[in-house]
Amino acid sequence: GGKGCVILYLYTAGIRTAGKRIFITYKRQESSMEIQIWRDLLDPYDLAVRELTTKFEHLRYEYKSRGLYCPIEQVTGRVKTISSILDKMQKKQIEMAEIEERMEDIAGIRIICQFVEDIPKVVNMIRSRRDMTVKHEKDYVTHAKTSGYRSYHVIVNYGVELMSGPKTIQAEIQIRTMGMNFWSTIEHSLQYKYKQNIPDHLREKLLKSADAIVVLDSEMSSVRDEIMDAQNSMQH
């Protein structure tokens, strides 16, 4: 109908104007049209996050229901907020029309493992799946970032089926231990508090803590067999 045509027109215009105009109108907290543009962009990602979360949780369910140890301890997912998309567009000089190609983490899945050894198992599960293809991987587990951040990142292409038909979108899957997650959650809060400029004395403490997490993870690995024995005997 007529309304649909108007929205479609503005959506195209919005894409062409790129970055800035959308930014300004959004900041003025404008019309439902602007909201519709964002909704059209983000809805497929919302579906992807919900599907992927369900699929990984289901894997966990399968392991558990067979009384097996599961390399996946917990799964969370989120769609990047509009304000954080806008921040990243500014920071990385990404135009509105390039968002879907260049912003790999609009759909974010986080898989938490108990042990470091579980991480490659989860990565292999992802590599062998037929419903997603790996675009690239970043191993911050063996090569920690200078901040001390550790995690294994897999960027995948994932297909969703929408009202308008099929669409392939990118999703960032972060795989990390509970220890790594503890560290990055705290560090993230500090980044937020200090607007990315964490004071030196806290940076030092964070680096020390990151080292302590490496030790903790490997200590936990060394008692891993005993924990698994205990879990198995609980089930029998």
Active-site residue list: 172
Minimum CB separation of residue 138 from ligand GTP in Å reads 5
Element (H, E) at 77: strand 74-79
Q: Which is nearer to ligand GTP, 26 or 149 (CB)?
A: 149
CB 82 within 8 A of CB 36: no
Minimum CB separation of residue 118 from ligand GTP in Å reads 19
Minimum CB separation of residue 148 from ligand GTP in Å reads 7
- Binding residues (CB under 6 A) for ligand GTP: these are 88, 105, 138, 145, 147, 149, 153, 184, 187-188
* CA 61 – CA 160 distance, rounded (Å): 23
CB 79 within 8 A of CB 106: yes
b (16+ CB within 10 A) / e for 7-44: eeeeeeebeebbbeebeebbeeeeeeebebbeeebbeb
* CA 74 – CA 180 distance, rounded (Å): 13
Q: Which is nearer to ligand GTP, 62 or 87 (CB)?
A: 87
3-state secondary structure of 114: coil
Q: Which is nearer to ligand GTP, 64 or 92 (CB)?
A: 92
Minimum CB separation of residue 10 from ligand GTP in Å reads 29
- How do 132-139 and 107-113 pair as beta strands? unpaired
Q: Which is nearer to ligand GTP, 105 or 118 (CB)?
A: 105
Dihedrals phi, psi of 140, to nearest 5 degrees: -90, 10
Query: What 8-state DSSP symbol labels residue 195?
Result: T
Q: Which is nearer to ligand GTP, 143 or 201 (CB)?
A: 143
Minimum CB separation of residue 66 from ligand GTP in Å reads 32
Mention every residue, 6+ apart, whose C-beta is less than 8 A from residue 21: 14
